[in-house]
Structure 1
Amino acid sequence: MKRLLTVLAAGVPLAAAVYLPTASAAPQNSSSASPFTCAAPSVKAPAGTRVESVTAERLPGGTIHGTGILGGEVSGVPAFCQVTVTLTHPGDNDHAKVRTWLPASGWNGRFQAIGGSAYGAGDGGVGLGTAVKNGYAATTTDAGVGDVLDTGWALDGKGRVNTPLLKNFASRSQHEAAIVGKEVVDAVYGKRAAYSYFTGCSTGGRQGYMEAQRYPDDYDGILADAPAVNWDEFEVATLWPQVVMNNEKTYPSGCALDAFTDAAVKACDSLDGARDGLVNDPERCDFDPRRLIGTKVVCDGKELTITAADAAVVRKIWDGPRTPSGKKLWSGVPVGADLKGLAGTTEPDADGTVQGAPFQVPALWVQLWLEKDPSFDLSTITYSRFTQLFKQSQAEYDKVIGTDDPDLSAFRRSGGKLLTWHGSADPFIPTQGTVEYRKQVEREMGGAKRVDDFYRLFLAPGTDHCGLNGTDGSADGLAALTTWVEHGKAPRTLPATLVDASGRQVGRDLCAYPQVLRYKGHGDTSAATSFTCVSPSRH
């Protein structure tokens, strides 16, 4: 559970909350047009909804403790007004809360909406508190669903998928939160926000892409990191490591999995011209795990030998899901990523038996939304059944939550800007899925140069899921986005602090896709100035 909480915490959109632009970047004349009064405003219901209640409460700030299993806290939060609007869609029996926190003083004139993590649609308080601390009026919605792993809403009393709540989680509640949140800001401050932003990572990243695809006028700028786009496909795909282990009846230990990862990083480290403990482009790493067969590994004081069966399992996991006939379905875990996240196993029982321990997010997707059976035994999934489940997920859910529409022409016409960073060592959302989506947008909209005008992607070598939120490095994506939106200066690079294989912090100016980092041949490999961006053809 500790590992799971760490992963899910990484999915909290802390980029929105922690790495914010300095006060000097705030819009001019952003002070309130009327005296600040924390009172429940009159709220017009968004189309298709009814307002059930509106409450307002002035809170003293201080230390904000996050709710739910992720918890967390942020201190030094100034006094703020919390306005909570509860919406329902008549006939759907849902109750979605939209919370807006408005600083009592020092509002920077900006509006920020914050996305969710895993199966949670919104923020538990830490993101809101940090946003308020930095002068933002901030909004989030729970979409009428639960915490990050609370999926009690998935099925109704008859065992059928709860379609209204899935629609809330997938798209419509975020759009309604944008409408309501901006209306509340206008009512409380007596003036509209000068600029509006959406920020999120993982599920929050997917929500940001959905906003750009379906509601292009909601935000001036969207920071959508490690986005869970292609949801209907990658959620099933990330169960693949468990399917492989169960079908091959081989469960490599955590130490063995780490040995494969370490060996691959060592073998492919210098592909960017420098031995810096980072694999710059995992797609170019051709390390064969069979090279480790016979290698001795010490695990918990005991020596074990890497077997051919271990290597075969890792090879399939890196390669990614395929049909029994060999057709590739999706990308695998990137080389250099922590294999233990998706290839987890239980501790040996009294007989020494080990079983798979699936990551709960894809496990729940298959059990609830595909099998419609919370007790479904995932260990029984054959390779053939896996292919069927993958195709079933595509057929039933692509149009609901796939979030893979490449036509962003309306978002471009609205003047919106979309910025994304994604760790190249992300074991939970394959980075290649984001890259493929970007390629699809280019094909749809006339090439890379036209897309670069409003949408830029940055890949972070050696970085885990949502790692640049501070768990595995840092990057100020929101500062780059506000500069782009408010001053028209598109980011050519994204300054970041990464963590190499030895745990050392190193500086890198991440390249705008498709360019990649290349060592200049001289200089400190921990310094960003020692690297430059080159086209893939020169790499």
Structure 2
Amino acid sequence: MIRAAVALAAAIALAVPPAAAQVRPRPTPPGTGAPPGADPAAACVKLKDVDFSLTPDAPSLIVSAVAKPADKDMPPHCLVNGRIAPTIGYRMWLPLATWNGKFAQTGCGGRCGDILDDGCQIVVARGYACLAADLGHKGTFYDDLWAIDNVPGEIDFGFRATHVSNITGRAVTEAFYGTKPRYAYYFGASTGGRQGLVEAQRFPADFDGIIAGEPAMGRPGASPPEVGPALRASVAALHDDGKPILGPDEVMMVHAAAVAACDMDDNLKDGFISDPRRCGFRPAQLACRAGRTSGCLSPRQVMGLDQVYANGAMPGSEKGWIGAYVGPNGTPGRYRWRLKNPYKYPYAWIFNDATNPDLRAFKARGGKLILYQGWADEATYPLHPVLYYETVERLMGGRGATQDFFRLFMVPGQSHIPQVGGGAETVDYLSYLEAWVERGRAPDVLHAEKMKRLARFAGPVTYAEFLTPDNVAFSRPVYPYPVQARYKGRGDPDQAESFAPFMSRR
């Protein structure tokens, strides 16, 4: 096994040019596509009169269609609001004169119940026609009430809404521009990442390329593979009677100890851990002992921390617990609602769907899938995507047969929500996917950057205002799993070209 690992790392080192030689994809100028006729704005208004009620599998109607002028983020576009029977709300953005001939669809987050505008607004600036949906219900980000005694709503949330939104989005795009889109892409993170995996598994003909980020998926092989109970158990482990057993200062003490123990696993002291699976840190190392009663952990705190790591959180993720598990002032964090949820996830069966490793139909159709996950994620546990990818490899017949259509990228130091002091979590995933789908250029290495100013939207795409050289703190290459980036021992550690591919020995 060791010889095979070394041989593979050597092959990758030969096959992949140094990071400095990689041309980082940048958004290409959008095309000049426009609806037929002399007045695109008028065509937008008329779109409301088109009858979509007989669209097979996705009967729908357009509620409003309004021509919008350009602003700092987007070109002039047609803003469409509509409904897919019976209860799915959707929104589309259609460039009036700069359509690139492609359709994109983005996912939602949390429990959905609302339409997230940011992802579509970002790609519309690149010429895409784009759709976002609420997955069939109205509610708040952490609202579970919609699922009670609502099996049709659970089905919409689980898989139907994403699929029929694809049908609707293509139909509206064709009706507006008078031609079908040349390519269709999906991108989403968290719940949106789960949506992407389910699309590849259940509806392999919907998209040419899919970006599934930090998916809210269960643990493959578990029975049932639910994601919710593990996170709930982590929150409960750090609380007694609804009150946190650790404050932010103690959480940061644990974080500092974990990083100090394992920071050099990539040959560089950079403040985060490249592969936490190899980290030997244990909370008991900080336990209070005779003569040491401050700056240490009580037996109850050690037990709670052990449980969190056992549930799936990784050493190095602790900074993300502040705000999520523990409030900044020692109050319960934003996941405290999980402790009081009496319904115990009425739609837990949905997470079973995202763990199906049979992607043969998606591959046969020529689909490409990029799955990414942060090693320091406190909300979607990193080993779930790793186990899923490894299961797909076994089913597909090996790494080569898998990586020709599906690649996993594990990002060191990335939490669920980008934060100050984290890893290089900003990647132009969409350009890499376009290059793979349209030009056959597989993503052998990604160029990732840490931004000084955190983007106002955390996901697979980023507003252009943040993608400027003066906003880059440092950069790193990210290689397809299981290959990692390792500092060469020379060169500027803030530059991606100072790193090389390395096969970790677990």
Q: How high is the TM-score relative to the length of structure 2?
A: 0.80
Deviates more, 1:160-169 or 1:438-447: 160-169
Give the partner amino acid of 1:497.
E
Q: Distance in 2 between matches of 1:161 and 1:471?
A: 41
Give the partner amino acid of 1:318.
Y
Among all aligned residue pairs of Structure 1 and Structure 2, give the percentage whose two residues are the same amino acid. Answer: 28
Q: Given that residues 442 and 451 in structure 1 are in contact (C-alpha distance below 8 angstroms), is that contact kept between their aligned partners in structure 2?
A: yes
Q: Could you say which residue in structure 1 is the equivalent of 2:440?
A: 488
Matched, 1:42 2:30: no
Deviates more, 1:33-42 or 1:246-255: 246-255
Matched, 1:524 2:492: yes
**Corresponding residue to 1:54 among 50, 62, 67:** 62
Q: CA deviation at 1:531?
A: 1.1
Q: Which segments of 5 or more consecutive residues in structure 1 lack a partner in the other structure?
A: 1-18, 64-74, 89-93, 296-302, 321-330, 349-354, 373-395
Matched, 1:78 2:75: yes
Q: CA deviation at 1:58?
A: 2.5
Q: Could you say which residue in structure 1 is the equivalent of 2:126?
A: 134
Please list, as runs of the form range in 1=range in 2, the aligned pairs for 1:103-114 lying within 5 A after superposition.
103-114=95-106
3-state secondary structure, aligned to 2:269: coil
Q: CA deviation at 1:45?
A: 4.0
Q: Distance in 2 between matches of 1:400 and 1:203?
A: 10
Q: Distance in 2 between matches of 1:245 and 1:420?
A: 30
Q: Could you say which residue in structure 2 is the equivalent of 1:287?
A: 281
Q: CA deviation at 1:290?
A: 2.0
Q: Given that residues 223 and 477 in structure 1 are in contact (C-alpha distance below 8 angstroms), is that contact kept between their aligned partners in structure 2?
A: yes
Give the partner amino acid of 1:233.
E
Structure 1 stretches of at least 4 aligned residues deviating more than 6 Å after TM superposition: 247-250, 468-472
Q: Distance in 1 between matches of 2:436 and 2:338?
A: 35
Q: Given that residues 109 and 189 in structure 2 are in contact (C-alpha distance below 8 angstroms), is that contact kept between their aligned partners in structure 1?
A: yes
Deviations 1:242-289 (A, max 9, x none): 332347997011210110011111110011211122200011111122
Query: Could you say if the C-alpha distance between residues 165 and 154 of structure 1 is closer, same or farther in structure 2, counting changes exceeding 3 Å?
Result: same
Q: CA deviation at 1:457?
A: 0.9
Deviations 1:14-43 (A, max 9, x none): xxxxx984225x67x856565531122232
Matched, 1:23 2:5: no
Q: Could you say which residue in structure 2 is the equivalent of 1:244?
A: 237
**Corresponding residue to 2:473 among 505, 508, 528:** 505
3-state secondary structure, aligned to 1:23: coil
Query: Could you say if the C-alpha distance between residues 226 and 334 of structure 1 is closer, same or farther in structure 2, counting changes exceeding 3 Å?
Result: farther
Q: CA deviation at 1:241?
A: 2.1
Q: Distance in 2 between matches of 1:135 and 1:167?
A: 32
RMSD: 3.3
Q: CA deviation at 1:44?
A: 5.1
Q: Distance in 2 between matches of 1:286 and 1:485?
A: 40
Q: CA deviation at 1:413?
A: 0.7
Please list, as runs of the form range in 1=range in 2, the aligned pairs for 1:119-518 lying within 5 A after superposition.
119-120=111-112, 123-149=115-141, 151=143, 153-155=145-147, 160-230=148-218, 233-246=226-239, 251-294=245-288, 305-320=296-311, 331-338=312-319, 339-344=321-326, 357=333, 359=335, 362=338, 366-370=341-345, 397-398=348-349, 402-465=353-416, 467=418, 473-498=425-450, 505-518=473-486
Q: Which segments of 5 or more consecutive residues in structure 2 lack a partner in the other structure?
A: 1-23, 220-224, 453-470
Q: Distance in 2 between matches of 1:287 and 1:114?
A: 38
3-state secondary structure, aligned to 1:479: helix
Give the partner amino acid of 2:325.
A
Deviates more, 1:160-169 or 1:104-113: 160-169
Query: Could you say if the C-alpha distance between residues 360 and 146 of structure 1 is closer, same or farther in structure 2, counting changes exceeding 3 Å?
Result: farther
3-state secondary structure, aligned to 1:415: coil
Query: Could you say if the C-alpha distance between residues 399 and 219 of structure 1 is closer, same or farther in structure 2, counting changes exceeding 3 Å?
Result: same
Deviations 1:289-339 (A, max 9, x none): 2222349xxxxxxx765333323322221122xxxxxxxxxx234433423
Give the partner amino acid of 1:359.
Y
Deviations 1:482-503 (A, max 9, x none): 0001100000011001379xx9
Give the partner amino acid of 2:104.
Q
Q: Distance in 2 between matches of 1:87 and 1:153?
A: 21
Q: Distance in 2 between matches of 1:228 and 1:45?
A: 34
Give the partner amino acid of 1:60.
K
Q: CA deviation at 1:122?
A: 6.1
Query: Could you say if the C-alpha distance between residues 420 and 367 of structure 1 is closer, same or farther in structure 2, counting changes exceeding 3 Å?
Result: same
Q: Distance in 1 between matches of 2:55 and 2:68?
A: 30
Q: Distance in 1 between matches of 2:112 and 2:244?
A: 33
Give the partner amino acid of 2:399.
A
Query: Could you say if the C-alpha distance between residues 148 and 280 of structure 1 is closer, same or farther in structure 2, counting changes exceeding 3 Å?
Result: farther
Query: Could you say if the C-alpha distance between residues 46 and 443 of structure 1 is closer, same or farther in structure 2, counting changes exceeding 3 Å?
Result: farther
Q: Given that residues 265 and 336 in structure 1 are in contact (C-alpha distance below 8 angstroms), is that contact kept between their aligned partners in structure 2?
A: no
Q: Distance in 1 between matches of 2:421 and 2:301?
A: 33
